[in-house]
Chain A
Amino acid sequence: MRFVFSFLFVALSVSALAQSNHLVVMGGGGEPKGSPSTIFDAELASIGAFAKSNPHWQSSVIFDGGHAQTEAIVSQHFGRFNSAGQTFSGKNFEALIALYERRLNSGEIKSGDKLLIHINSHGALRNAKGEETHRISTSDAAITNLQTLGGVTVPLDRLKQLTELAAKKGVKLGIVDLSCHSGSTLNLANANTCVISATGPEHYSFGGGATFSAKFNQAMAKGKSLEEVFLTARSNYGDTSFPMISTPQGRDVQSRIYELLTPYLYYFDPQSDKHTKYLEQEVQSKNTCAPQEDLKELVTLVEELLKTVGGADTQRELQYFKTAVTNYFNYLAKTREEMRSAGFPQAMERVSFCTNLKSPINRRGARTRECTEYRVKDLLALDINRVQAHFRDMSRRSKGEEAMIAQAIVSNLDQARKKKDELLRQNPRLARVADFWKQNPNRRQETFALAAHVSKSHQRLFEKLYRQSPATGPNPCRDFVL
């Protein structure tokens, strides 16, 4: 009898204290209307498959809204899609976060429980003015730009309070952000919260096929820690992202190589171009040795590592990385040289033309000068005769302030013409600047191939540095077991 009571007591205690697991899946925003699917479908299906085969995880989903195929995937894996409550709108995002805050506060989700937030939407670059993380697209509108997004977004800073509550209540929190520029989300990590991102703060992420996002979701399995899932996916993926993790080892390696590798993971793409902007900034930089110094630091890192690691495969892959990054460096150095020959640093400078102070514009009672400012490359593209004729005509047709301003612009364009002639006389090659980027029709393929080689080969470097990292401290990614 005593045994029976003891058994019952233990069984009841275990039941009362049983840990619960909670999965929140959100994203799929910013996609254009008109198509039945979204670019997030493959990853939605794979996280859905995880949820379906692990019913001990209680799921909540707000995803997309307005794309029949995507909604069907939600229905298939998470139960019937309810568009009012499950569309990934700003309103539903706020309601869901508030709900989980209440569940933590009330003790419904308690110490020892796990909460995994899985995010997959379009992600913006972090705005350094006031944002700790970055914004992601909701389904309220389509994006217009892959870097700043446009459309309608929500801030992942909104999760900050949840991370603090989880730490206070002893709830294990995991945040997986598979969106573009998601490296900024690592700023939500703390001793209790594990954050994993599909890429760095300056890079795009990708989905489907053999991408990191696809591999990560596929590697999620009962009994594996988030750190194990991350390392498995990160050791063999095929895209040009830079996945990150908030463990002490991850932070150590990322701080050593991410910035150095950044330009070598860019490639030219007409709609989402980071490569051209990087080169245009670089070519204006006073420190022309910086790329060479960064390459040297990377190569030294690899050579030091080569002395300590064994295995023919590893040695070969590290050597391959050295070759891949040097090849891309040489390509960029050659392009910079061609840009300089074409007058590029000068083409990015600004020139300003202003009316004479002796003949100010009377603007709403104030006497001001009318100034017109252009980048040199825009001045070179300016059809001055045609534009000047337009403003001359405007000055004749209009009256008062508008006529004065139009006349002032005509005068500024006279100065602009002189400047343009002078610039072309001093450097006739400037005339080619406007067409510089159009001269190589293979730029997209060439830069993509170079970036893909660097990305593929750096994976072994990351893994080895991670395993050797001396960094220590709390590791909530290791403690978060699926």
Chain B
Amino acid sequence: MLWLIFTALAHASCGVYEFKGTPRIVGDQLLLVIAENSRSERIFTTDATEQAKLAPFLDREVQGEFQLTGVQSPKEASASEFVALEDSEHDPLNPHYQSYLRLKEVRPCP
């Protein structure tokens, strides 16, 4: 699973993604972190309006969808249009349902 996240970002297409991750305030940024503390950890930066949407879920696992708007490096990308945000229940019996990132629909990069 973590390997798949790596490949997804390394060759990421712009488009709508389903995700499960954790919003964190790191330094002066509010970021979405996926596959946290793993070798495949990836961070997603976003603008202030989108950060406000993520704010209620700060430091908790959240799932939803966003649009990937660009990839800055193999570890960092930018995202916008966060929708369908929901608290995510953790199920230790299904480890592969933990943090993830999956392409749902390819869209042109802005």
Contact for A406 among B18, B48, B91, B102, CB less than 8 A: B48
Residue of B nearest to A379 (CB): B56
The answer on a CB contact under 8 Å between A394 and B104 is no
A360-387 CB contact bits vs B (8 Å, 1 = yes)? 0000000000101010001101110011
- Number of A-B residue pairs at CB separation under 8 A: 73
In the complex, B39 has a CB within 8 A of chain A = no
Name the one of A142, A382, A405, A409 contacting B96, with C-beta atoms under 8 angstroms: A142
Stretch at the interface among A143-151, A171-179, A237-245, A323-331: A143-151
- Shortest CB–CB separation between residue A80 and chain B, in angstroms? 28
CB of A282 within 8 Å of the partner chain: no
Cross-interface CB contact of A270 among B53, B90, B102, cutoff 8 Å:
B90
Are B48 and A394 in contact, with the CB atoms below 8 A?
yes
B52 lies within 8 A of A409 (CB): yes
Give B8's nearest chain A residue, CB to CB.
Answer: A141
- A148, A273, A370, A378, most chain B CB atoms within 10 A: A378
Q: How far is the CA of A145 from the CA of B90 in the complex (A)?
A: 13
User: What bracket does the count of chain A residues touching chain B fall in?
Assistant: 20 to 34
Are A32 and B1 in contact, with the CB atoms below 8 A? yes
A142 to B96, CA, bound (A): 9
Do the beta carbons of B28 and A394 come within 8 Å of each other? yes
Q: How many positions in chain B have a CB within 8 Å of any CB in the partner chain?
A: 29
The answer to whether the Cβ of A390 comes within 8 Å of any Cβ in the partner chain is: yes
Specify which chain B residues have a CB less than 8 angstroms from the CB of A70 in the assembled complex: none
Contact B47 A271 (CB under 8 A): no
Enumerate B1-60 residues with CB–CB distance to A below 8 Å.
Answer: 1, 3-4, 18, 20, 25, 28, 30, 47-49, 51-53, 55-58, 60
Q: Is B89 an interface residue (CB 8 A)?
A: yes
Check A393 for interface membership: any CB of B closer than 8 A. yes
Q: Taking the nearest CB of chain A, how far is it from the CB of B31, in angstroms?
A: 11
B102 touches A141 (CB 8 A): yes
8 Å CB contact of B4 from A141, A382, A406: A141
Chain B positions within 8 Å of A271 at CB level: 89, 91, 94, 97
Dominant SS among interface residues on chain B? mixed
Asked whether, in the complex, the Cβ of B28 is within 8 Å of the Cβ of A397, the reply is yes
A383 touches B102 (CB 8 A): no
B47 in contact with A32 (CB, 8 Å): no
Question: Closest CB of chain A to B19's CB: distance in Å?
Answer: 9
B56 touches A381 (CB 8 A): yes
Q: Is the CB of B55 within 8 A of A32?
A: no
Q: Is the CB of B48 within 8 A of A382?
A: no
Q: B56 — which chain A residues lie within 8 A by C-beta?
A: 374, 378-379, 381-382
The interface residues of chain B lying within 8 Å CB-to-CB of A372 are 49, 52-53
Complex interface: chain A residues within 8 A of B3 (CB): 33
Provide the bound-state CA to CA distance between A241 and B100, in Å: 28
Task: Report which of A33, A150, A394, A412 forms a contact with B102, defined as CB distance below 8 A.
Answer: A150
Point out the residues of chain A lying under 8 angstroms from B48, CB to CB. Answer: 391, 394, 402, 405-406, 409
Query: Once the chains bind, are B47 and A402 in contact (CB under 8 Å)?
Result: yes
Of all chain B residues, which has the CB nearest A388? Answer: B55
Q: Least Cβ distance of A281 to chain B in Å? A: 14
A287 and B85 CA atoms in complex are apart in Å by: 27
Interface residues of A in 141-191 (CB under 8 A from B): 141-142, 144-145, 148, 150-151
* Chain B residues in 8 Å Cβ range of A370: 49
A387/B91 in contact, CB under 8 A: no
In chain A between 122 and 153, which residues have their CB closer than 8 angstroms to a CB of chain B?
141-142, 144-145, 148, 150-151
Bound together, the chains give a CA A144 to CA B89 distance in angstroms of 14
Taking a contact as CB atoms under 8 Å apart, the answer to whether A387 and B49 are in contact is: no
Kindly provide the distance from the CB of B29 to the nearest chain A CB, expressed in whole angstroms: 8
Give the distance in Å from the alpha carbon of A386 to the alpha carbon of B23 in the complex: 13
Query: Which residues of chain A have C-beta atoms less than 8 A from B85's C-beta?
Result: 378
Bound: A389/B90 CA distance, A: 29
**Residues of chain A within 8 A of B47, CB atoms compared:** 402, 405
A390 to B102, CA, bound (A): 29
CA distance A145 to B100 in the complex (A): 10
Q: A474 to B30, alpha carbons, bound, how many Å?
A: 62
Nearest to B19 among chain A residues (CB) is A144
Query: For residue A375, which residue of chain B has the nearest CB?
Result: B56
Cβ contact of B55, chosen from A144, A148, A387, cutoff 8 A: A387
B25 touching A390, Cβ below 8 Å: yes
Minimum CB–CB distance for B18 against chain A, Å: 5
- A177 CB to nearest B CB, Å: 23
- Set of chain A residues within 8 Å of B94, measured between Cβ atoms: 271
List residues of A (1-38) whose CB comes within 8 Å of B's CBs: 32-34
Pull 14 A–B residue pairs with CB atoms less than 8 Å apart, ordered by A.
A33-B1, A33-B4, A142-B1, A148-B18, A271-B91, A271-B97, A273-B89, A370-B49, A372-B53, A378-B57, A382-B55, A387-B30, A387-B55, A412-B52
The 9 closest A-B pairs by CB, nearest first: A270-B89, A378-B56, A150-B102, A32-B96, A382-B56, A387-B55, A270-B91, A405-B48, A144-B102
Known: A151-B102, A271-B91. 14 other contacts (CB 8 A): A33-B4, A142-B1, A142-B4, A144-B100, A150-B18, A270-B90, A270-B91, A271-B97, A372-B49, A383-B58, A387-B52, A390-B28, A391-B52, A405-B49
